[in-house]
Amino acid sequence: TFLKALGPEVNLVQIFYSGNDRVRFLQMILLEMGIDSGQNNIDVLRSEIKDHLSNLLREGRKTFLIIDEAQDLDEDALDEACLLSSLEVDGRYLVRVVLAGLQKLQKNIDSLSSLDRRDTITKPYYLKKLPYEDIPKYIHHRLATAGCTDVTIIPENVLSEISHFSRGIPRLINMICDAVLLYGYFSEKKVATMSLFKEVIADLFNNRNAEDSYQYETSAVTSGYVSADQDTRSGEEPGDIHSEDKELEGNGKPRTEELPVRGEGSRAGGILPMTVFVLEKNIRMRVRLEDKCHEVGINSVMLSTLEEFFATLESSGDPGFNVLVADSSFFFAEGGGEDSAGKDALDRIQGDYAYMPLIVTSTLPLTVIRARLFQRGIPLFLHKPDLDRIDFSEVRTQFDGFFNELQLCLSNIHSQFGAIYRKTIKWLTDSQSVTAASARRVKRLNRSNSGGNINEE
């Protein structure tokens, strides 16, 4: 809404960056401005940014720099953002810097060593949770935007439970509604039911930490689901979904036991085996990913070309459940531009292998790449460190941060697909039981009509 309110005279620059490299941070800003600077000198980069902003100001254009997920900025990058906000010519500021992020951002700002830097940041604005009465309107609006003409597919009692559980947090509302619609479609239901909703909640949050990624302040839901009709405000129920004072169980790290290595008998045991295909050009990143996947028990296949990837899939006798983690350079030109070969590869992946979840990674998480992926319905886009450019002392820390985020994505994907897999097995088993029972009844009836023994099987 904020971005749409900006007029055409405003030059908008939006970046996603998590790191502590001032040079890389400034290079990303220049790339988003359309300037591919080959400079590594920080003073030269600052000068290039100031010159470009000064030219825009002379043309009568204001510039807004929006740094999304700014809670991931380390002190040096955050300090650089503050320096940019103070750039001026003839008493006029060249750029308005907007830091958008989670509450951790305020703590990072407060911890800045320079008091002058902190003073450049005005009072923060916090997006509030949706009021309870507005949540159904929000859900109906999202359904209508997606093309749904009958919003009653999520009835009032289910809407009430979604409102109760999500407490108005839009990201949590979206996650629950998405799962409810997916489960409903799989179950061939025309209307979402309470039993379906409870199953979604159990699958999404049972023994899981919903705060891992977005700090929902929501407790993990155990098998003892608590309805909105029950009093959960006292904090005495084990399934208290309103608790804001209790610490959630767990260490805040993604679970690895849900990512089993493919093996004999996995499917028979009701566990969905998963293989992660990694398309990565950087050999150092490939080696580290392979070692880490092996360490945590993720079955992985490391590949360096698209040809290798397609050949491996085509030669595989058992398609199984696969996830593709691919570097953006396989699909986009430098700076996020169009690439015909990359476009063809994405078309093929989304056409021939549409069942395969895709996670795109990049050392330059440019807005243009994210936007192109969203247009294709690919929401998972992760920033990773450039192991060839960062200081050796930072390699482990930055790689571990990236891998933890990747592991969380894989865990969430596996959890959702695993639930569908278990439902499929149950549906097939139930269908076979019904078919077998019907066949026995027909057989007994035929024998009865022919004078045979109706008790024989």
Break the chain into its structural domains and give their ranges: 2-119, 132-252, 274-422
Could you tell me the pLDDT band of residue 27, with boundaries at 50, 70 and 90?
confident
Task: Yes or no: say if 180 and 200 are a contact pair by the CB < 8 Å rule.
Answer: yes
53 pLDDT exceeds 90?
A: yes
> Where does the pLDDT of residue 36 fall: very low under 50, low under 70, confident under 90, or very high at 90 and above?
confident
Average pLDDT over residues 25-33: 85
The closest alpha carbon to 335, from 13, 66, 36, belongs to 36
pLDDT at residue 266, rounded to an integer: 41
Q: What is the pLDDT of residue 435?
A: 64
Q: How far is CA 112 from CA 22, 96, 117, 248, in A?
A: 15, 20, 7, 29
pLDDT band, very low/low/confident/very high, at 272 (cuts 50, 70, 90): low
pLDDT tier for residue 305 given thresholds of 50, 70 and 90: very high
**Is residue 396 packed enough to be buried (19+ CB in 10 Å), middle (13-18) or exposed (0-12)?**
exposed
Q: Find where tokens 């909105």 sit.
A: 228
Answer whether residue 442 shows pLDDT above 70.
no
Residue 301 has pLDDT above 90, yes or no: yes
- Distance between CA atoms of 154 and 142, rounded to whole angstroms? 12
pLDDT by residue (tens digit) across 316-363? 765 568 899 999 999 998 777 778 999 999 999 998 888 889 999 998
Q: Left (φ > 0), alpha (ψ -120 to 50) or beta: where does 61 sit? A: beta
d(CA 319, CA 304): 20
* CB distance 419 to 413 below 8 Å: no
- Per CATH, the homologous superfamily of domain 2-119 is P-loop containing nucleotide triphosphate hydrolases (3.40.50.300)
Between the alpha carbon of residue 406 and those of residues 203, 252, 304, 325, the distances in Å are 20, 14, 19, 9
Whole-angstrom distance, CA of residue 95 vs CA of residue 10: 10
**Interatomic CA distance for residues 73 and 26, integer angstroms:** 13
Alpha carbon distance 76, 418 (integer Å): 41
Residue among 195, 411, 212 at smallest CA distance from 323 = 411
Fold held by 274-422: Rossmann fold (3.40.50)
Between strands 92-93 and 88-89, the pairing is antiparallel
SS3 68: strand
- For the chain, what is the mean pLDDT? 76
345 close to 297: Cβ distance less than 8 angstroms: no
| Residue 400 confidence class, pLDDT cut points 50, 70, 90 | confident
> CA dist 336 to 35, 108, 332, 416, Å?
12, 30, 5, 30
123: left (phi over 0), alpha (psi -120 to 50) or beta: beta
pLDDT at 167 over 60: yes
Strand bridging mode 92-93 / 10-16:
unpaired
Residue percentage of the chain with pLDDT more than 90: 20
Among 241-250, 308-317, 319-328, which is the least confidently predicted range? 241-250
Q: What is the pLDDT of residue 218?
A: 32
Who has greater pLDDT, 302 or 211?
Answer: 302
Provide the pLDDT confidence category of residue 138 given band limits of 50, 70 and 90: very high
What does the pLDDT read at residue 169? Answer: 85
**3-class SS at 102?**
coil
pLDDT of residue 331: 93
> Quick one: pLDDT at residue 395?
79
Residues in CB range of 125: below 8 A, 6 or more apart: none
Angle 64-68-72 from CA coordinates, rounded to 5° = 135
pLDDT for position 405 = 86
Residues 6+ apart with CB under 8 A from 131: 168
pLDDT at 159 over 90: yes
- The answer to whether domain 2-119 and domain 274-422 are alike in fold is yes
